[in-house]
Structure 1
Amino acid sequence: MSHVDPALVDVRTLAAHPLVSNGESSRLRMVAPGSVTAGRYGLVEYHLAPHSPGAAPHVHRTFSESFYVLSGELTVHHAGSWDPLAPGDFALVHEGGAHGFRNDGDEWATFLILFAPGIARERFFLELAELRRSGRTLTPEQMTAFYARHDQEMVDG
């Protein structure tokens, strides 16, 4: 009979990962950041207000990003166009794939974002939220450096 190690199961209650504001038009919950998953993946629950821009087209070189729509409608950029995704729809963006998202609908869109491997993507969201809350505006050069620090290269879309 094998030994079962209870430390190999990590349960996080809702209180451990509260929904936080990411500016006026979005909220997010760090369900399973890379620091919790030993870098295997990162899971974020994202809420985007109606008619909100979300993320402009960009690429990541070192991790994949997946989107799973829970409610509302999420418009996702891929293959050079913007297409709506409904609840239950899924999009996988491989490393180097140009993508973006926005909410063109009349209700909040709620979706999961999965990063693999679980790089410290939560730092990107936390820093971005702090910038939005502070009202501080970065120069184009500072924004490029910010994105580069987080493996995000903006592209035309």
Structure 2
Amino acid sequence: MSHVDPALVDVRTLADHPLVPNGETSKLRMVAPGSATAGRYGLVEYHVAPHSPGAMPHVHRTFSESFYVLTGELTIYAAGSWQAHGPGDYALVHEGGAHGFRNDGDEWASFLILFAPGIARELFFTELAELWRSGRTLTPEEMTAFYARHDQVMVDP
């Protein structure tokens, strides 16, 4: 019989990762930040209000990003166009792939975002939320530096 090591299982309850505001029209839950997965992946539950912007088209050079729609309708930018996707739809964006998302629908959209490897993407969301709470607006130069710090390069759709 093999030995079972209970330290090899990490269970996080809902209380461990609350849903928090991420601007006026979105909220998120850091289900499994990269710091909790030894950098293997990061998992975020994201919610966007009806008729709201999400992320404009951008690329990441060092990690892939996957989207899995749970509820509502999520419009995803991929392959040069915006297309609506519903519950159960999945999109994988490889490193360097231009992508974005928004909610063009009439109800809240919720979806999972999986980052691999599990870079500290939670810092991106934490800093954005703090900017929103403070009411501070970054200059274009500061915004470019912020995105560069988090491996995000904005692109024209």
Q: Deviations over 1:23-42 (max 9, x none)?
A: 11000000000000000000
Determine helix, strand or coil for the equivalent of 1:35: helix
Cα separation, 2, equivalents of 1:133 and 1:69: 27
Q: Which residue of 1 aligns with 2:86?
A: 86
Distance in 1 between the 2:24 and 2:58 partners? 22
Partner of 1:145: 145
Matches within 5 A, 1:40-51: 40-51=40-51
Q: 5+ residue gaps in structure 2?
A: none
Q: What SS does the corresponding residue of 2:75 show, helix, strand or coil? A: strand
For residues 126 and 85 of structure 2, the distance between their equivalents in structure 1, rounded to whole angstroms, comes to 26
What is the TM-score when the length of structure 1 is the normalising length?
0.99
CA distance in 1, matches of 2:134, 2:118: 27
- Stretches of structure 1 that go unaligned for 5 or more consecutive residues are none
Cα distance in 2, alignment partners of residues 24 and 35 from structure 1: 27
Q: CA deviation at 1:3?
A: 1.2
Give the percent of matched residue pairs that are identical in Structure 1 and Structure 2: 85
Q: Which runs of structure 1 show a deviation greater than 3 angstroms over 4 or more consecutive aligned residues?
A: none
Instruction: State the match for 1:56 in structure 2.
Output: 56
Name the structure 1 match of 2:105: 105
Map 1:127-142 to 2 at 5 A: 127-142=127-142
Residue in 2 that maps onto 1:67: 67
Question: In the TM superposition, what whole-angstrom CA distance separates every residue of 1:47-83 from its partner, at most 9, and x where no partner exists?
Answer: 0000111000000000000000000000000111000
Counterpart CA distance in 2 for 1:23 and 1:40 is 28
Scaled by the length of structure 2, the TM-score of the pair is 0.99
Paired residue type of 2:153: E
Query: How many residues align structurally?
Result: 157
Distance 1:23 1:141 in 2: 21
| Cα distance between partner residues in 2 of 1:57 and 1:118 | 21
